[in-house]
Structure 1
């Protein structure tokens, strides 16, 4: 069973653009190995992310994100069963916040 999980959070103030770029690169590699795809949007310290993949893998990843000290104020917005991933070709990509909002209305 595949799911799509969407959440928002706030990065701690000491996170730099270089940190975010490194995090995104590592996430892309990890996600590809675990059948997870998604999109990450960061605007200032605010984060919105959509994760897709097998339920156990996505839930395990999300629990890891919840424990990550770089995040605070994590709120799960939605979790839905899906027939196929929308971001299948992407392990993880970073896009502007407006793109993720636009995608959310088209899913």
Structure 2
């Protein structure tokens, strides 16, 4: 079964952005917990990066599960101004261990990811910072958390 992926960036809704990293009322945790339960059943894995004002999310899985999970993303009130950065075949799972997880990132890190090359979800093992793809940057950000998973 081919693995497909979607990566997008969006602006957080005021209800989530009120608290530092969405945690004053645990709203972000509740959203991610709900997504985690749904994604597990749909066979979807991914990560949500959050800088306090913006999201960048990478989702991967079988086409049918990914399609339903992404339709939930598109209708969510937790964000707006969604910009799809890439959609397509991923080749293999990059985040097989997380049905969903959110990670705090610095605004500059999220900006770099949003402006990176996501074409074909390519990853270069020998890339330097100047030629890093979106997948290279994402891998570097989640690597520490992945080891602990």
Relative to the length of structure 1, the TM-score reads 0.86
Query: For 1:89 and 1:103, how far apart are their aligned partners in 2?
Result: 22
- Following TM superposition, the consecutive aligned residue runs of length 4 or more in structure 1 with deviations greater than 4 angstroms are none
Q: 1:19-58, aligned counterparts within 5 Å?
A: 19-58=27-66
Partner of 1:71: 79
State how many pairs are aligned: 107
Deviates more, 1:9-18 or 1:92-101: 92-101
Query: For 2:34 and 2:133, how far apart are their aligned partners in 1?
Result: 23
Question: Which protein shows a greater Rg?
Answer: 2
Relative to the length of structure 2, the TM-score reads 0.64
Choose between structure 1 and 2 for higher RCO, CA contacts under 8 A separated by at least 6 residues: 1
Normalized per residue, which structure has more strand?
1
Q: 1:14 to 1:103 in 2, by over 3 A?
A: farther
Tell whether the 8 Å contact from 2:42 to 2:69 is kept in structure 1 after alignment. no
Query: For 1:70 and 1:95, how far apart are their aligned partners in 2?
Result: 16
RMSD: 2.2
Mapped pair 1:5 → 2:6: yes
Normalized per residue, which structure has more helix?
2
